Structure 1
Amino acid sequence: MTPVIESDAHKSLREAVSTFAANHPRTLGTDTTHLWQAAAKLGYIGVNLPEAYGGGGAGITELSLVLEEMGAAGNPLLMMIVSPAICGTVIARFGTDEQKREWLPPLADGSRLMAFGITEPDAGSNSHRITTTARRDAATGDWVLTGRKVFVSGVDIADATLIVGRTEDARTGKLKPCLFIVPRDAPGFERRPIDMELSAAEKQFELTLDDVRLPADALVGDEDAGLLQLFAGLNPERIMTAAFGIGMGRYALSRALEYARERTVWKTPIGAHQAIAHPLAQAHIDLELARLMMQKAAHLYDAGDDTGAGEAANMAKYAAGEACVRAVDQAVHTLGGNGLTREFGLAQLITASRVARIAPVSREMILNYVSHQTLGLPKSY
C-alpha cells in the first residue's frame, strides 16, 4: 500500500478547521447547535457528501480530519460520526434518487440531522441477535417495524433515525439486516432518555418501535444487500470514532503541556522532570500512531476497498481509544489536584474519553475481530 502522506490541500483544511474551532467557546457538555451550523456553513459538515447534492465531494479522509481538529480545539461534534459519516454515506452509496434528493443536501448544509440505531438491549455487540423486525403489509406495501434500540445518540435533535432492522428472506426463511429511515414523529416511534453521567450535549436514548408503519420507500437500498450496506456505514463510524478519540486526546495533552511548561514547584517547571515529560511524550507517540492507522483506514475506504478498510478501521478505533484514555489520564495526573477542577476542564474528559474505548464496538470485540479475521485463530463462540 502507498504510504499515506497528507497533501497540501489536507494540510490547509486542517489548519482552517483548527483556526475555526479554536475561535469558538468550548462546547463539551453544552448545546452545539450554533457551532454545528457555523461549521456546516463553511462546508465542514458535508465535506464527504457528493457535490451534486451540496456536499464537498471529498471523503471520509477529509471528514475525519475535520472532526479530529474540532476535538483538538475542545469542540468535538459527536453527531459528525452519525449524521454525515454513517447516514450520509449509506444514503449516498445505496439510497434511491429520491432519498438522495431529500436527505443529502440538508445533511450537507447542517439544516437536518439523522441519528443511527443499531444497538439493542439483548444484542450488544452481536448484530446477529438483533430482534427489531420489519414485515411487509401485503395489502398496502408498507413496512411495519417492531423492536427496541438503546444508546442512540441525538434522537431528540435528529429529523429521522436510520434504523437497522431485519426482514425475512423468502428463500431461506432466515432474517437479514435492512436499513430504514424512520421520521422522528412517526406514530409508534417513542424515545426515552437514558440517565448518563457522561457530560455531552448529545443525549442518549432508548427507542421503542411499536408497529411503526413506513412507506415502501423508507427502505434504503436493496433488500438483499443488507450486510454490504450496513458495513458501508459501520466502517466510517469506526474511523470517525478514532478521529473523535484522537482529537480529545490531543486537546487533553495540549492542556497538560501548557501546564507543565509553566508550573514551577522547585527550580524548573515540572515539565523538565522526566517523570512528567516521558509519560506525556508517550501519550503523544500513541496519538500519532493511532492517527496513522486512522489515515490508512480512511484512505482504504475512500479507495473503495471495503474489506481492507474494515480491518484497518477496527484497528484505528482500538488504537485511538487506548491512546485517548491514556492521554486524558496522564493530563489529569500532570495537573494533580488542578486536573479535577472545573477551571481546567479535564476531569469531565475522564468519562468522555471512555466513549472512544467502548463505543461503537468494545475493544475486546475488536481484538476478537483481529484474532479471527486477520490472524486466522479459531473462535470461542
Structure 2
Amino acid sequence: MSFIETEEQTALREAVAALVKKYGQQYFSDCARQGRKTDELWQEAGELGFIGVNLPEQYGGGGAGMYELAIVMEELAAGGSGLLMMVVSPAICGNIIARFGTDDQKQRWIPGLADGSITMAFGITEPDAGSNSHQITTTARRDGDDWILNGRKVFISGVDQAQAVLIVARTEDAKTGRLKPALFIVPTDTPGFEHQIIDMEMLNPEKQFTLFLDDVRLPSDALVGSEDAALSQLFAGLNPERIMASASAIGMGRYALDRAVEYANDRTVWKTPIGAHQAIAHPLAQGKIELEMAKLMMQKAATLYDAGDDWGAAVPANMAKYAAGEATAKIVDQAIQTLGGNGLTVEYGLAALLPLSRLTRIAPVSREMILNFVAQTSLGLPKSY
C-alpha cells in the first residue's frame, strides 16, 4: 500500500471534485426539499465514467478498483452531494455480479450499472432479522425451472430509482431442510413485487423503502452465482459496502469541517477571528486528525479488497466504517457549534447534516456490531451473539 496516490488516482479525485462543484450542497438539498432525484449529477457522473470506475472494462467499466470508487464517493460527499446509491449500485451489486454472475448476467447488467443508466438496489435487512442476516426469512423455492420468492425487506435504499433489486433470500436444502442464503436479481416491475416508502427525518433525495415479495416468480437465470456458496458471495459485497460507507462519511466530515474552518477564519469577534481561540481551533484540529486516521484505514481496506483478500479486508473495512462514523458525527456537531446560530440556518447547510451524520454510526452496520466483530475476530474474545 502506497501513501502516495498515483497520477491516475489524483486526476480522478480532481475530476470528481470539479464535477460536484457544479452541483454542490445546495443542489442536493433542493432536490430533497422538492422531491426530485439527483438525476443530473448521477447521469453526468455516469457519462464521465465515475460510477462504474471499479467495474470490468470488458463490460463498460473503468477497470479500476474499490480504491478508485471510494475516491469518487469521498469527493462527491466532500462537495456536498454524497450519493447513497453509489454505495449500493456499483459497489455492492456491481461487484457481486462482476465476480459471481454468469456471462449473460454480466452482459445484461454491468454496462448499465457502469454508465449509470441502470441503478440496482440491494435488499438484505428484514423487520425481524435486523443485523442478524443469518436469520432472514425471505424464501426462494423451486417451481420447475423458475424460482418463487416470498418475504419482506425493510430500510432498502433507492428502490424508486432502481430498475432491479439484488435480493438476499433463502433456499431450502432438500436433504436436510436447512435454509441457505442465495442472491436473486429482481426487476422492480416483476409482478408480486411492491415497495412502500418509509418516512425518515432526513433531508435526502434518496429514500428508504419496505419491500413486499408475494409469490414473485423469477426465471432460473435470476440466481446470481451458486445457491450453495451465497454466504461468501454475500460478504464479498459487504466489504465494498463498508468501504463506501466510510468514504461517504469521510467526505461528509470534510464538507462540514471546511465550512467550519471557513467561518472560523472569517468571523471576527473581539478583534480577532474566532478560529484563533483554542476552544474553536482544537476541536476542529481533533476532527481533522480523526478523519485522516479513518481515511487511512479505509484506504487499507480498499487496497486489500482490490488485491483479492476478502477476509483480510473485512476487519479494516469495519474499523474504517466505525472510525469514519464516529469522527463525522463529532465534526458535524462541532461545525454547527462553531457557527453558533448560523449553524442551524438553511443558508449554511449544516443542520441538515445532523441526522445524516448520525446515520453513519448506525448504517449499513451499527457501531455496536462492528465492536462485536472486532472483539471476536481481532481480539479472540468469545462471540457475544
Distance 1:93 1:164 in 2: 16
Correspondence 1:326 to 2:330:
yes
Match of 1:311 among 308, 315, 321: 315
1:249 match: 253
Distance 1:156 1:240 in 2: 21
Residue matched to 2:133: 127
Q: Does the CA contact (< 8 Å) of 1:4 and 1:299 recur in 2?
A: no
Structure 2, unpaired ranges of 5+: 32-36
Say whether 1:206 aligns with 2:206.
no
Contact 1:153–1:203 at 8 Å: present in 2 too?
A: yes
Counterpart pick for 1:79 among 62, 77, 85: 85
CA shift, 1:3, in A, is 4.8
Are the aligned partners of 1:47 and 1:59 in contact in 2 as well (CA < 8 Å)?
yes
Indicate the residue corresponding to 1:232 in structure 2. Answer: 236
- Quote the offset at 1:4 in angstroms: 4.3
Q: Secondary structure at the match of 1:149?
A: strand
Is 2:150–2:214's contact at 8 Å kept on the other side of the alignment?
yes
Distance 2:145 2:22 in 1: 51
Amino acid at match of 1:150: V
SS in 2 for 1:135: strand
Q: Distance in 1 between matches of 2:179 and 2:369?
A: 23
Q: Which of 162, 165, 178 is the equivalent residue of 1:161?
A: 165
SS at match of 1:83: helix
Within a 5 Å distance, the mapping from 1:171-182 to structure 2 comes to 171-182=175-186
1:40 paired residue among 41, 46, 57 = 46
In structure 1, the gaps of 5 or more residues are none
Counterpart in 1 of 2:118? 112
> Alpha carbon RMSD of aligned pairs, Å?
1.0
Q: Which among 220, 223, 238 is matched to residue 224 of structure 2? A: 220
Paired with 1:255 and 1:380, the residues of 2 have a C-alpha distance of 41
Aligned mate of 1:188, from 173, 189, 192: 192
TM normalised by structure 2 equals: 0.97
- Give the equivalent residue in structure 1 for 2:362: 358
Give the CA deviation at 1:23: 2.1
* 1:190-242, Cα deviation, whole Å (9 max, x unpaired): 11100111111111000010111100100001111111110111000000000
Corresponding residue for residue 344 of structure 2: 340
Residue 13 of structure 1: how far off its partner (Å): 1.2
Preserved contact between residue 132 and residue 165 of structure 1 (Cα < 8 Å):
yes
Is residue 89 from structure 1 mapped to residue 88 from structure 2 by the alignment?
no
C-alpha displacement at 1:11, in angstroms? 1.4
1:145 aligns with 2:149: yes
1:298 corresponds to: 302
2:221, 2:58 → 1: CA distance? 21
Is the contact between residue 4 and residue 296 of structure 1 (CA under 8 Å) also seen in structure 2? no
Q: Which residue in the other structure is 2:8 paired with? A: 9
Letter matched to residue 144 of structure 1: I
Give me the identity figure in percent: 70
Task: Determine if contact 2:372/2:384 at 8 Å carries over to the other structure.
Answer: no
SS where residue 28 of structure 1 aligns?
helix
Give the drift of 1:25. 3.8
Distance 1:186 1:297 in 2: 36
Q: State how far apart, in whole Å, the 2-side matches of 1:354 and 1:220 are.
A: 33
The offset of 1:380, in angstroms, is 2.7
Residues of 2 paired with 1:378 and 1:126: CA distance?
Answer: 17
Q: Residue 193 of structure 1: SS of its match in structure 2?
A: strand
For residues 98 and 242 of structure 1, the distance between their equivalents in structure 2, rounded to whole angstroms, comes to 32
Give the letter aligned to residue 117 of structure 2.
S
Partner deviation per Cα, 1:279-311 (whole Å, 9 max, x = no partner)? 000001111000000000000000000001111
**Deviation per CA, 1:90-127, whole angstroms, max 9, x where unpaired?**
00000011110000001111111000000000000001
Structure 1 outlier segments of 4+, above 4 Å = none
State whether residues 250 and 294 of structure 2, in contact with CA within 8 Å, keep that contact through their aligned partners in structure 1: yes
- Which residue number in structure 2 is paired with residue 28 of structure 1? 28
Separation in 2, partners of 1:296, 1:170: 42
Q: Compared with structure 1, are the counterparts of its residues 144 and 4 closer, same or farther at alpha carbon in structure 2 (3 Å cutoff)?
A: farther
Please give the secondary structure, in 2, of the residue aligned with 1:358: coil
Question: Quick one: distance in 2 between partners of 1:366 and 1:96?
Answer: 33
Could you tell me how far 1:85 is from its partner in structure 2? 0.3
Secondary structure class of the residue paired with 1:156: helix
Residues in 1 aligned to 2:3 and 2:176: alpha-carbon distance in whole angstroms: 43
CA contact (8 A) 1:4 1:295 kept: no
Letter paired with 1:23: K
- Aligned-pair distance for 1:173? 2.1
1:182 alignment partner, SS class: strand
* Count, aligned residues: 378
2: CA distance, partners of 1:313 / 1:201: 26
| Separation in structure 2 between the aligned mates of residue 292 and residue 340 of structure 1, nearest angstrom | 31
Match of 2:292 in 1: 288
Distance 1:379 1:224, change over 3 A: same
